Amino acid sequence: MKNFIEVGSIVKVNSLTSTIKGYYRIRSIRGGKANLAAIFGGFIYHKGIPVKDLIECENEWYAQWQQSESYQCM
């Protein structure tokens, strides 16, 4: 697990401070705020999310992805 958040990281938003659910990939960080996009694809779902509210969770996401039907059919 990385100790810092950078462009390309897979993150989730801290559920205590936001209603945004799910996993996202960071597409850009400017001025302490990040744009969150789909993990596969480039569609940006949320803009201007404070970096301090994000939690890096690539290992957690990958563990769930391995259990999905999409992954197991590959």
Bridging pattern class, strands 44-50 and 33-37: antiparallel
Model confidence over 6-19: pLDDT tens digits? 999 999 998 787 88
3-class DSSP state of 69: helix
Q: Is residue 55 within 8 Å of residue 17, measured between CB atoms?
A: no
Residue 72 C-alpha from the chain's centroid:
22
pLDDT tens digit sequence for 23-70: 999 999 999 999 999 999 889 999 999 999 999 999 999 999 999 998
pTM recorded for the entire structure = 0.85
Burial of 13 (0-12, 13-18, 19+ CB in 10 A): buried
Rounded Cα gap, residues 5 and 62, in angstroms? 17
